[in-house]
Structure 1
Amino acid sequence: MTVNSASLLLLLQHADSAFPSGGFAFSQGLEASSLHAGKIGRLDFEHYLRNQLTHRWATADRVALSRAHRLADDKEATVRLDREVEASSTIDIFRAASKRNGMAFLTAHRRLGSQPAADYTVFVRDGTALGHLPVVQGLVWSGLGMSEADATVVSGYQCAMSLATAAVRLGILGAIEAQAALGRLLPVIEDLARTPVEDDEPLSTFTPLSELAVLVHETSGQRLFSS
């Protein structure tokens, strides 16, 4: 696929971990899985990341983002999708993380002049909507002119990069090792991103070990990450 310079620069801006979207505070269960490895099994970061991409991002976040991208002009349908994301997530910590990241994402884009972000922020603040991250990503990136395919790739890259960054901060592996693992999984993101999403495709996740680790970790005292 050939991308023109303007489109490429837009993708680079929004895939950059320096973009103020708030995701640095969350490890999506990686911290808990590393600390409780003695109870749930040894943590292999690359295997963990592959599972998160395949059984959470591809089947839940990616699906929600694609559907939200298509619904960008239908705010009522977007709100219904937002509530579907809430109902499909069984772990309260992950629900809270998604909404907190979503609000950070909306705030950043509202301050950058995005009208869809400003309009949806009103819905979140008055309780009409919940502001889950993949929903607002699809909505706002559509408003920026980003294609659904490009938005999906950016989302997948951000998911992987945020976990790689968390792994380094947690001391699970070094920066070079994290980048090597990320590089090996880029083709996985590409393949998953190409999988078609139906307009009414349900959301699903299957990451039981990381969810179990988070539930145990919730009562174990001080944490570096919120999830």
Structure 2
Amino acid sequence: MSVALTTLGSSLLALQQADSFFPGGAVAWSWGLETLVADARLGTPPAATTGRRQRGLRQDCSEQVRAFVEGQLRHRWNSFDRAFLDAAWQAADELPTLMMLDAQVEALTLAEELRQGSRRVGQSLLGVHVALGTPGAAPYQHQVLAAATPGHLPVVQGLIWRKLGMHREHCHLASAHGLCTGLVSAAVRLGVMGHLDAQRVLTDIQPLLLELQDTAPCTPDDASGFTPMAEIAVMRHETQDLRLFAN
């Protein structure tokens, strides 16, 4: 059974779990951004800024990055990951249901690179919580290590965060905010925007996060994701000569 937390206690846990300082393993993944930058699909300066670029000034690509983040939120996280996070949160005490949800994520994620990324980040997050002694983490890790279930990120998030006592809406916000910070962090490390630009993107995206939060998540049976440019970029990532990220 999960512990009962006050709203303030749940909020504090959500801040900790969504913090980029938390060692969940997501910092190693760009979710297609690296390939898009390498292919000049993102970060390509318009002709009007060519002179500034030649003088060595950083180009502001925050609008392009913001559009990428928004696409991932609307057409992948909200319509797919959130559905399985929510279902796993509700079924945190039901191991067979969690494993069924995990199998659904595996079957519905068509790109192998996305499946691998979701599994590896989910398993990394699970391992951290096993080390921290979070209830429910060790039994589920046992199933993952036995190859009985893949351990996809949204399922692990729903399970672990419910066991910690986080409120449902705080779990959704922590997951979405963690995705956003991971993407803008990748953009900063790829050199297409600065730290202040990244904070502007995170600020500008907040109304969308609140808008999505006001809508009910879809069920796993209705879950879908459609981010073709990002998925193709992820699949092409292994062909890049130089790679900073795992995808």
**Alignment TM class, shorter chain as reference:** over 0.9
Larger Rg: 2
Distance 2:149 2:31 in 1: 23
CA contact (8 A) 1:85 1:203 kept: no
Unaligned runs of 5+ in 1: none
CA contact (8 A) 1:156 1:193 kept: no
CA contact (8 A) 2:123 2:151 kept: yes
TM-score normalized by structure 2? Answer: 0.86
CA contact (8 A) 1:138 1:151 kept: yes
Distance 2:26 2:40 in 1: 24
CA contact (8 A) 1:149 1:193 kept: yes
Distance 1:88 1:103 in 2: 18
Report whether the alignment pairs 1:114 with 2:134: yes
Structure 2 counterparts to residues 1-227 of structure 1, below 5 A: 4-37=7-40, 44-227=64-247
Higher mean C-alpha displacement, 29-38 vs 183-192? 29-38
TM-score normalized by structure 1? Answer: 0.93
CA contact (8 A) 2:78 2:217 kept: no
Q: Could you say what the CA RMSD is over the residues aligned between the two structures, in angstroms?
A: 1.7
Summarize the Cα distance change of 1:135–1:38 in structure 2 as closer, same or farther, 3 Å threshold: closer
Runs of 4+ in 1 over 4 A off after TM superposition: none
Length, aligned pairs only: 224
Offset, 1:154: 0.5
Question: Matched residues, percent identical?
Answer: 38
Distance 2:111 2:235 in 1: 8
Distance 1:15 1:79 in 2: 24
Unaligned runs of 5+ in 2: 1-5, 46-60
Distance 1:202 1:24 in 2: 29
SS for the counterpart of 2:96 is helix
Letter in 1 for 2:96: E
